[in-house]
Structure 1
Amino acid sequence: MRPCHILLTALFIPLLLSPTTAAAHPHLLATASGTEISYQQLLTELSAVQVVFIGELHDHAGHHRMQYEIIRSLEQQQQPLAIGLEMIQIDDQPTLDAWVAGNLEETDLVAMFNRNWSMWPLYRDIFVLARERRIPLLALNISRDIIRQVAKNGFASLPPTRLEGLEGVTCTVDPAYEQFIRRALGEHGHNPTSFRYFCEAQLLWDTAMAKHLNDFLTRQPDYRVVVLAGSGHSWKYGIPHQLTKLAPRTFRVLLPEVPGRIDRTRASVADTDFLWLDVGPQSWTLSPSQRPQAGEQKSSAAAAE
């Protein structure tokens, strides 16, 4: 993202995250029926499940606007709420706990966040809301070094010591998962071996995040969790599928419309339960520089978040 874009984003985030404008967005598609639903109808559906997956393009302010509004709405209900974060590695869970408890300065939180991720201004309001409302924040990710190693050399290259805490995790990529990666991430892979390693890295990523999410829900069965993750991870065949292999959790998936990957003409209930559409005066239309092209290549697993 260019420096001027970052500055403008920081200036306009408070406006973009206005609950009124987010709730007023009129274009929410239920894939099961193929019809548009209201924001209140969406909330009714999300209120009936234990896990809500909300996909994002990480640098898209409108996607974080919707995440904020849904979190704010669900937090007002009786069931306790937590927020699961792809952005943060599990080793930094104590820092998240200290932030929510009010025992950490924002500068220290930002330092940790920037070690893990980037684009803090886009996420700030969600973290502030969590602190104000004492909503637990859950680190879901594993070391980027592990993901990079698998993407480069395959899952078999990992020694057992690198999988501490993930004992029993396997990484078998079948043709269905390969097809999912091609569609969800625009990754086609001209080299069969490199593409298989790329798929293994994504599968390990999804599986590890599902395990950390399931561990929390096992400890705290009364909670509902809103999971914020990249669009590709949030498709039903990503983290949600891996979660259902661990436990019979109820969930719903809400994805943004992303031209070239998933849109109103292609999305089905096998991909997502709900799709929010980039149309109309309240739209979150992508700029040409943000719009992914069908079949665009990714240089590494980290680029395909």
Structure 2
Amino acid sequence: MRAENLPEPVSQYDAVIVNAGTGEIITVTELARQLADTDVVVTGEYHGHHASHLLQARLQQALYRHNPRQILSMEQFNLNHQDALDAYLAGQTGETEMIEDADAWENYKASYRPLVEFAREHQLPVVAANAPADIVRCVGREGKDYLKRLPDAQRAALPAQAFLDTPDYRDKFVDAIAGSHGAEQTELAGRLLSTYQAQLLRDNTMAERILTALNEHPGHQVLHTTGTFHSEQRLGTVAVLEQRAPELSIAVLSPVEWSPPEQAMPVAANRHKGDYLYFILPLPPEYRDAERQRSAMQKRFSRHSDTRCE
């Protein structure tokens, strides 16, 4: 079926999958068949969008039917909590204990529980792929040289090259953060630099963790879940993987919000975002009152203001 004859998503759980190269609508079953021999399948998500999370769970199961040698890699857990995650997978702790010990995201039960439970039930490795949150925050405040002050054990857990990037990703990040201000002003560019380096630390750490998992489990396929900014247009984590291991086959799935019937489905305009696109309904706006939104954002940031960068 061609994209122009696409069925519309009718609920917040629905996703319509399109092969970006051919424009064909495909099912999850067909998607898994096409990805069966791919080394790393990266599923970009809009955090908290149930259509993203439902698609990830269905794809995990469908890929497993083709290749049960599967690794689940997750941005949503930090590498310093790998032991807590492993303890849960081994049946040594309960779910609430794991959520507390591994500092799981607030939406874990609704969004990521199915992925982890499938892996646990089938005894599949789960990789806590992200960089430690406190280290990311300190790099965001003080820049990449902060890593030089880390104890040897903490530094050794991070990639030797922790800040690989590409010009396209840098431009995209600056545009997303600075918007119309750009980064031409020296002061603005300086404020953005450490924030960008924190982003790079996340991407490089996730790439490193994926490569380590593949080395430890030859012949396995990695399913990596991440926010779409880290993977769309084959930038971020994907670009680092391609720089460090060009021999790997990597497929990128990217979400696109679509509001039918007000607009035709924008396949051509979004084809560059991934090898496969999945179209989902937009989430409702979080705020309509700008002042309440600013206040909420300040509260979010203040929760981490007590992090000490020693």
Query: Considering the TM-score relative to the shorter chain, is it more than 0.5?
Result: yes
* 1:113-158 C-alpha deviation (Å, 9 max, x unpaired): 4x24221222222222222222211111111111112222211333
- Name the residue aligned to 1:11: none
Aligned partner of 1:240 among 219, 232, 238: 238
What is the distance in 1 between the residues matched to 2:211 and 2:191?
A: 30
1:166 to 2:174 alignment: no
- 1:119 is matched with which residue? 107
What aligned pairs does 1:56-205 form with structure 2 within 5 A after superposition? 56-113=45-102, 115-122=103-110, 123-161=112-150, 163-166=155-158, 168-171=160-163, 175-182=167-174, 186-188=176-178, 190=181, 191-205=188-202
Q: Determine the structure 1 residue equivalent to 2:284.
A: 287
**Distance in 1 separating the partners of 2:137 and 2:237:** 19
Cα deviation per residue 1:8-48 (whole Å; 9 max; x = unaligned)? xxxxxxxxxxxxx99x9672122223343333331122112
Q: 1:148 to 1:237 in 2, by over 3 A?
A: same
The alignment's TM-score, normalised by the length of structure 1, stands at 0.77
Residue 252 of structure 1 is matched in structure 2 by 251
Determine the C-alpha separation between the residues in 2 that align with 1:177 and 1:212.
Answer: 20
Identify unmatched segments of 5+ residues in structure 1. Answer: 1-20, 279-283
Secondary structure of 2:82's aligned partner: helix
What CA distance in whole angstroms lies between the structure 1 residues aligned with 2:43 and 2:198?
Answer: 21
RMSD: 3.1
Q: Does residue 1:274 correspond to 2:271, yes or no?
A: no
Q: In 2, distance between residues paired with 1:71 and 1:173?
A: 29
Structure 1 pair 167–141 and aligned structure 2 pair: CA distance change class (3 A): closer
The one-letter amino acid paired with 2:93 is: L
Is residue 151–residue 194 contact of structure 1 (8 Å, CA) maintained in 2? Answer: no
Counting aligned pairs with the same residue, the percent is 25
Matched letter for residue 251 of structure 2: R
Q: Which amino acid aligns with 1:118?
A: E
Distance change >3 Å, CA 120–CA 187, structure 1 → 2: same
Change beyond 3 A, Cα 1:79–1:174: closer
Q: 1:33 to 1:229 in 2, by over 3 A?
A: same
> How far does residue 100 in structure 1 lie from its aligned partner after superposition?
2.1
1:39 and 2:36 are equivalent in the alignment: no
State the distance in 2 between where 1:207 and 1:146 align.
13
Runs of 4+ in 1 over 6 A off after TM superposition: 296-300
Distance 1:78 1:36, change over 3 A: closer
Equivalent-residue separation in structure 1 for 2:67 and 2:169 (angstroms): 37
Q: TM-score, normalised by structure 2?
A: 0.75
Unaligned runs of 5+ in 2: 1-9, 182-187, 259-265, 305-310
**Is the Cα contact below 8 Å between 1:173 and 1:199 reproduced in 2?**
no
Structure of higher CA gyration radius = 2
Match of 2:205? Answer: 208
Q: Secondary structure at the match of 1:54?
A: strand
SS at match of 1:159: helix
The offset of 1:173, in angstroms, is: 5.2
